[in-house]
Each structure stands twice: as structure tokens, then as C-alpha cells.
């Protein structure tokens, strides 16, 4: 295969949703001393240009990109970000501080009055927080006059100080739930790859990588379950309800349908050599020396791994479509606590309910509610998955059950902070 063809295959590995349009972003370093504007076409282009402008000499593959709230960004998540989003470039060994961390450090450095104020804020956030959240919930303004409003134009104060370009409450809440589920995915992958089984058992590692690849594909198909927080997907009692539960928002990271599931999996996750997908086209003028050099460098880094790994031709697990996509709130956007992991319901009744669609104060308080695993992710589910990966024959249903327990309301319940038990679920 010629160098040009190889480069072309590499370029088609990029998700179709973000491979040609030029977009602008703001990038700063971890110390926030410099901020530069970057115009780029994809995630790798952003990292290369940001490293150049911020005088970072590390290989772009070694640097990480974060949001201002400390969320780690990958290539897939980057495709969903709005233009002009501010990002943080992190070199190996550096610590990323959130805006809240920087504000508190600034308070500590000014004078004793601010020091006292900063310490009091910290104490408030750490000392008996559950009681204080309950108090805040009781004193919230329960004015329902704007709850039903949806757009930024109709209820601008709801969107005030939110770093988002979403124009409706439903779209914003949809994305916030996706972020929570995505965090569970990242934590799952991190725990798997840090395990002794993954590092020392070659056969189990192959199985775990295929399982991770399936998780990513299935989560795309399921829209990262963003509809759990989206009141437009609330179930109704009307037999004539014509809600299209198969529709998803444009910002859902699930639009990989331009290439087959198998091709997407092979190209993006399993790194298998294959012929070009005839359904994907590209402008050959975009393949320049930089692209060729980047491709060759990447191939060198993966050469040893490619020689060791003998992957199957496709993912052994079929991606399934769900018939319905139902929110866990009602049509007004009200959520109710489902109680501790080992209880049949919440003993506090109507005292543990919240509507983040009502006001920005309730939206902020909703961030203290948790999607809690009844069967624990880190203590039970991941160890079970590691054990399954070592079996000679893996039951397909076991992988599906693990996925449901990790990411769906089969094992997740929304709970008020008071009902969130962080101890062992035994």
C-alpha cells in the first residue's frame, strides 16, 4: 500500500462529525498565564497547534486537554464542544487546577481577611454538607411560573453563567447526563487498564480491549443515556403520545452511521489494518508532509503492539438498539430520590425531590444528587469483569449484563445526597 493510501486510511479514522470544518477554540496552559486562539479541524490538529503556540516541546500525543471544570477531553468528546470553548493544555507531570481551586488559592494569597473567608468557604463545603444541602433545598424559591419555559430567550437567567451554547434546557440537561455516564466509562477503562489482569494476562487483555470497544460503540448507540435527564423524553400516560423515542439531539455523540459498526470498531479501537471504506471520501489535497510524518510516527509507536496483538476480524458483540428512551423525571422536569441502594424507596418522600428546570439555583443543587450504583462499579462490577475476561469462553450475555449494570438504570438510581451511601454496598 502506498504512503498516500496509508495516510488516507489514517485520516478516515477521524469521526465524520468533526473532520473538515474549521473551528476556533481558546487554549491556555495549566498556570493560566497565557491564552491563545486556535483554529483547527480536529482534536489532533488542536493539540499540535496549541503545543506550537504555547512552546510545548512534548509530543502532542503525550499532552492532555481539559475543560475549565477539570474534565478530561478525548477526541470523541472534543467533537461535541462548542466553538470558542476555553481549554487547558496539560504537559506530563503537571497538575490541572479547576477555576474553584484557583479562586481559593488566590483568596489565600491576598490577606488574612480573605484567608479567613476562603477557609470558611472550604469548611462549609466539607463540614456536615448533607445537612446544609437539605437546608438550602428548603429555602429555595419554589416559583413555578418559569418552569415550563424552555429556551434561552424565554428564561435567560436560567442560562446565566453556564458555559454552554445550548439554546434549550432540555439540550443542556441531556448533555449533563451524558457527561455523568461518560465519566463512568472513563473510570471503568482506567480501573481495567491499571489492573494486574490487564497488564499481565495477554489473553485477558485482548478480551478486555474488545469489551471496552463494545462499551464505547453501545454507548454511542444509546446516546450515552442523555435522555435520562431530558424531560422531553418523559413517559406519558396518553395512548396517543407520538413522541419519537428513536430521535436524538444533534449534539448526541452517536452519529457514526456513515461507516459500518465493524469498520468504526476496527479503525478507531482495534487498530486493525484493512482496505479503505468505500463509503468515506476525502480530499487528497489535505494529505501533506505533516500528515505523512504524523502517520509514520504513529505507526512506529504502534508497531510492537501490532506485532503482539492478533485481533479477530470484528467485535464479537452485537450493538443493540433500544426500543424506548425514557427520562427518569416527569414532563415538568421533576426528579424524585429513589432512596438508598438497599431500600425500596426514599423515606423522606416529597422532601427529596427537585426540579432543575425551575431555576438556576435548583440546577446548581441538582449537581449534588448522584446516579448511584446499587451493585458497586469499582468494588464488584469491574472485578467481576476482570474475572470473566480470564475464562476460556466468555458468555456474551455476561458482557451485556455488565454493560447494563455499569451504565443503565437497571443498576443506577438517582439519589439525594443524604441518601447516597458511599460505604461498601454489602
Please tell me the distance from the alpha carbon of residue 267 to that of residue 216, in angstroms, as a whole number.
Answer: 13
Please tell me the distance from the alpha carbon of residue 41 to that of residue 379, in angstroms, as a whole number.
Answer: 40
Task: Return the CA Rg of the chain.
Answer: 23
> Residue 141's pLDDT is what?
58
Q: Which three three-digit cell numbers place residue 325?
A: 428512551
> Residue 103's pLDDT is what?
60
- Smallest Cα–Cα separation from 177: which of 247, 228, 252? 228
> Residue 219's pLDDT is what?
92
Half-sphere exposure of 403 (CA within 13 A, CB side): 25
Query: CA separation (Å) from 241 to 179, 229, 330?
Result: 29, 19, 14
Exposed/middle/buried for 403, CB within 10 Å: 0-12, 13-18, 19+? buried
> Residue 195's pLDDT is what?
94
Sequence-distant (6+) residues with CB within 8 A of 297 are none
CB 172 within 8 A of CB 166: yes
User: Which residue's entry shows cell 482495534?
Assistant: 270
Please tell me the distance from the alpha carbon of residue 224 to that of residue 215, in angstroms, as a whole number.
Answer: 10
Query: Which domains occur in the chain, in start order?
Result: 21-100 (3.10.20.10), 147-236+310-425 (no CATH)
CB 85 within 8 A of CB 175: no
- Smallest Cα–Cα separation from 261: which of 207, 314, 182, 325? 314
Tell how strand 335-336 and strand 353-354 pair up.
antiparallel
Q: Which three three-digit cell numbers place residue 128?
A: 456536615
User: Which residue's entry shows cell 503482539?
Assistant: 308
Q: Secondary structure of the chain in the HEC alphabet?
A: CCHHHHHHHHHCCCCHHHCCCCEEEEEEECCCCCEEEEEECCHHHHHHHHHHHCCCCCCHHHCEEEECCCCEECHHHHCCCCCCCEEEEECCCCCCCCHHHHHHHHHHHHCHHHHHHHHHHHHHHHCCHHHHHHHHHHHCCCCCCCCCCCECCCCHHHHCCCCCCCCEHHHHHHHHHHHHHHHHHHHHHHHHHCCHHHHHCHHHHHHHHHHHHHHHHHHHHCHHHHHHHCHHHCCCCCCCCCCCCCCCCCCCCCCCCCCCHHHHHHHHHHCCCCCCCCCCCCCHHHCCHHHHHHHHHHHHHHHHHHHHCCCCCCCCCCCCCCCCCCCCCCCCCCEECCCCCCCCCCCCHHHCEECCCCCHHHHHHHCCCEEEECCCHHHHHHHHHHHHHCCCCCCHHHHHHHHHHHHCCCCEEEECHHHCCCCCCC
> Residue 289's pLDDT is what?
41
Per-run averaged pLDDT (10 residues), the chain, 426 residues: 54 51 90 88 91 90 88 86 91 79 56 50 56 58 83 92 83 91 93 94 92 92 91 70 54 45 42 37 37 44 42 67 87 94 89 91 89 94 95 91 96 92 82
- The packing angle between helices 382-389 and 202-221, to 10°, is 130
Please tell me the distance from the alpha carbon of residue 81 to that of residue 67, in angstroms, as a whole number.
Answer: 10
CB 403 within 8 A of CB 214: yes
Amino acid at each position: 500500500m502506498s504512503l498516500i493510501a496509508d495516510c488516507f486510511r489514517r485520516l478516515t479514522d477521524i469521526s465524520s462529525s468533526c473532520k473538515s470544518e474549521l473551528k476556533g477554540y481558546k487554549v491556555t496552559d495549566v498556570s493560566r498565564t497565557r491564552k491563545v486562539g486556535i483554529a483547527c479541524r480536529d482534536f489532533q490538529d488542536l493539540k499540535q497547534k496549541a503545543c506550537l503556540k504555547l512552546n510545548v516541546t512534548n509530543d502532542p500525543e503525550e499532552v492532555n486537554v481539559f475543560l475549565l471544570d477539570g474534565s478530561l477531553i478525548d477526541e470523541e468528546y472534543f467533537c461535541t464542544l462548542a466553538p470558542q470553548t476555553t481549554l487547558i493544555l496539560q504537559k506530563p507531570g503537571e497538575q490541572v487546577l479547576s477555576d474553584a481551586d484557583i479562586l481559593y488559592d488566590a483568596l489565600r494569597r491576598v490577606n488574612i481577611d480573605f484567608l479567613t473567608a476562603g477557609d470558611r468557604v472550604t469548611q462549609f463545603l466539607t463540614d456536615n454538607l448533607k445537612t446544609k444541602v437539605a437546608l438550602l433545598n428548603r429555602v429555595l424559591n419554589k416559583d413555578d411560573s418559569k418552569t415550563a419555559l424552555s429556551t434561552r430567550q424565554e428564561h435567560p437567567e436560567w442560562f446565566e453563567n453556564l458555559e454552554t451554547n445550548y439554546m434549550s434546557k432540555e439540550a443542556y440537561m441531556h448533555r449533563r447526563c451524558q457527561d455523568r455516564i461518560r465519566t463512568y466509562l472513563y473510570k471503568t477503562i482506567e480501573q481495567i487498564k491499571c489492573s494486574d489482569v490487564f497488564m499481565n494476562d495477554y489473553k485477558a487483555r485482548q478480551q478486555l480491549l474488545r469489551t471496552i470497544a463494545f462499551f464505547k460503540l453501545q454507548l454511542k448507540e444509546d446516546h450515552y443515556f442523555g435522555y435520562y435527564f431530558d424531560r422531553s423524553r418523559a413517559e406519558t400516560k396518553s395512548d396517543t403520545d407520538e413522541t419519537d423515542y428513536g430521535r436524538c439531539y444533534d449534539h448526541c455523540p452517536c452519529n457514526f452511521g456513515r461507516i459500518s459498526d465493524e469498520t468504526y470498531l476496527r479503525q478507531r479501537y482495534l487498530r486493525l489494518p484493512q482496505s479503505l471504506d468505500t463509503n468515506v471520501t476525502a480530499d487528497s489535497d489535505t494529505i501533506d508532509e505533516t500528515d505523512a510524518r504524523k502517520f509514520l510516527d504513529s505507526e512506529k509507536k504502534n508497531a510492537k503492539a501490532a506485532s503482539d496483538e492478533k485481533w479477530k476480524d470484528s467485535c464479537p458483540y452485537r450493538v443493540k438498539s433500544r426500543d424506548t428512551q425514557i427520562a427518569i423525571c416527569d414532563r415538568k422536569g421533576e426528579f424524585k430520590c429513589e432512596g438508598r441502594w438497599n431500600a425500596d424507596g426514599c423515606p423522606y418522600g416529597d422532601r427529596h425531590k427537585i426540579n432543575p428546570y425551575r431555576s438556576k439555583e435548583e440546577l446548581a443543587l441538582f449537581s449534588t444528587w448522584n446516579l448511584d450504583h446499587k451493585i458497586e462499579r469499582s468494588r464488584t462490577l469491574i472485578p467481576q469483569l476482570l474475572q470473566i475476561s480470564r475464562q476460556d469462553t466468555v458468555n456474551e450475555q455476561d458482557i451485556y449484563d455488565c454493560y447494563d449494570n455499569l451504565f443503565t438504570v437497571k443498576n443506577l438510581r438517582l439519589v439525594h445526597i443524604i441518601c447516597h451511601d458511599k460505604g461498601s454496598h454489602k
